[in-house]
Amino acid sequence: MDVVDVWNGQYACALQAALRLTNEAFADRLGIAPRTVATWHSNPEVVLRGETQQLLDELYETASQTVHKRFALLLAPDPAAAAGRGGDAAQPLRVAIAVVVREDQVLLVCRRDDGASGITWQFPAGVIKPGVHADTAAVRETFKETGVRCAALRDLGTRLHPVTAVQCEYFLCEYLAGEATNSDIDENVDVMWVPKASVTRFIPVSNIFPPILVALEEPRDAEDQR
């Protein structure tokens, strides 16, 4: 999508997710109240005011190509689902996240974040494209980003991310092979194995899905028996 004819709540929230901004940071970039952004999340069909349309046009037009790609993926329709509804409605963005464990370490990537929060450490992740299983996406994106081959052990659950409001599906994965390298320099600054016990030094505990913390506390022999 190169041009947005009319901004509604759904498109505005898609741009927010593509920029990886919190409600507060997104509101600050636009010069509006955070409660207005929250309203867009609760009412995605609402058509925004004229001056807000202009602000969003400017923000979108000055965004990086990476943001444009994420925005387009977020709004890409699922052909099968659209056919079932008899329309071309956009589907919510779904992201697969891999928690890759190697002995007492876990794999992290340092994102080249376009948002106000700057560079942030996260688990390897990628958009789940139509027709692709979430666990397959998690494994594939991990290799694409880091050069690490892994296998999904189990599903850790699904949630709406507290910062981006994107639907995230988490998988505990075991390391198979490969050296951890930054294979996606457009998205990431660095890739690193960190001790399990040190994860909260890189990612705020409030942003970590609780089942991940539980899984990282499990003894290694319990993982090996799965």
User: How far apart (Å, rounded) are the C-alpha atoms in residues 212 and 226?
Assistant: 16
- Identify whether 3 is part of a domain: no
Using a cut of 0.95, tell me whether the model's pTM lies above it. Answer: no
Q: Rounded to whole angstroms, how far apart are CA atoms 103 and 203?
A: 20
Residues 47 and 64 in one domain: yes
As a whole number, mean pLDDT of residues 157-170 equals 82
In a domain, 147, yes or no: yes
Look at residue 4 and tell me if it is in a domain.
no
Number of compact structural domains in the chain:
2
128, 169 in Cβ contact below 8 A?
yes
Q: Is position 40 within any domain?
A: yes
Provide mean pLDDT across the span 174-202.
91
Selected residue with higher pLDDT from 162 and 114: 162
On whether both 31 and 124 belong to a single domain, the answer is no
**Span 58-102, pLDDT tens digits:** 999 998 888 888 888 887 765 444 344 444 444 557 889 999 999
Residue 139: domain span: 94-224
Let me know whether 105 and 216 are in one domain: yes
Q: Give the residue among 44, 54, 45, 50 at the shortest CA–CA distance from 17.
A: 44
User: Quick one: average pLDDT of 200-215?
Assistant: 90
Asked whether residue 203 is assigned to any structural domain, the reply reads: yes
Q: Does 1 fall in a domain? A: no
- How confident is the model over 156-183, as a mean pLDDT? 88
Q: How high does pLDDT run on average in the chain?
A: 83
Residues 208, 129, single domain; the answer is yes
Q: Is residue 102 domain-shared with residue 34, that is, in the same domain?
A: no
> Residue 116's pLDDT band (boundaries 50, 70, 90)?
very low
